[in-house]
Amino acid sequence: MQIDLTDRTALVTGSTQGIGRAIAAALADCGARVAINGRQAGGVEAAIEELRAGAPGRDLVAAAGDVSTAAGAAEVLAVVGDVDVLVNNLGIFGSTPPLEIDDDEWRRYLEVNVLAAVRLIRSTLPGMTARGWGRVLNVASDSAIVIPAEMIHYGVSKTALLGVSRGFAKAAAGTGVTVNSVIAGPTHTGGVERFVYELVDSDLPWDEAQREFMRTHRPQSLLQRLIEPEEIANLVAYLASPLASATTGAAVRVDGGYVDSIVP
């Protein structure tokens, strides 16, 4: 299959590293003009430099700003212009005992993981529907369905994101715009490496630590390893393309079989 996103502009939030950067690279390799987003201009420029070193022809735009705030989101959108593909990848996570998560921490997770996505959808969806084509993709998590005891605030925020996706898909019904969520499984990123070492012996070599983490904390995984960011990006690139025109309102899994269900 040929995925062609020529003449499309994509905004990938939180795309200076990890899953977001892999998604940005994949969309750029499909011909899209891709806005790289992060809070700090220096981090955004460094990510663009590295992405262009990997493939000089990538069309990348620096879009620094904190999209978890209304002012930051407006600043980013002013730089990017019309958005054809919105990938809400920005998210925070961390391990905290459930009874120690206070109100402020709950609000922070909902603000960053949910309201930031809602705000950007609200700003970009009207333009997409007016043009008769668009893609909104919200990067969720297996934790949305299998709420982890060690980070229920994160899991609940991702559950909310599934509802956000389904609701806005209904708002875009019949317009040529699709809205979906991507349920990513345990993925190998720098942040996850730090998280793994919070839960297993920090003296273990990485390969052993990863196996121990999957065995003790994610035993449901059929893949039995962490997913690589590029594997998430491959699905996102497909869903962002014209080839996925009949997929909307869906929660599509790329979770390594972690969620024990026969229904996507």
Read off the pLDDT of residues 148-199 as tens digits, 9 standing for 90 and up. Answer: 998 999 999 999 999 999 999 999 999 999 999 999 999 999 988 998 999 9
Question: What's the mean pLDDT in 202-222?
Answer: 93
Q: Which of 154, 197, 238, 258 is catalytic?
A: 154
Dmax (CA) of the chain: 55
Instruction: Indicate whether 264 pLDDT > 90.
Output: no
- Please give the pLDDT value at position 1: 84
- Of 50, 49, 55, 53, the residue nearest 32 (C-alpha): 55
What residue spans define the domains of the chain? 9-187+227-254
Active site residue 109: no
pLDDT at res. 263: 82
Mean pLDDT of 100-128: 98
CATH fold label, 9-187+227-254: Rossmann fold (3.40.50)
HEC sequence for 38-106:
CCCHHHHHHHHHHHHHHCCCCEEEECCCCCCCHHHHHHHHHHHCCCCEEEECCCCCCCCCHHHCCHHHH
The pLDDT value given to residue 249: 98
Under the banding of pLDDT at 50, 70 and 90, the label for residue 41 is very high
Q: What is the pLDDT of residue 199?
A: 92
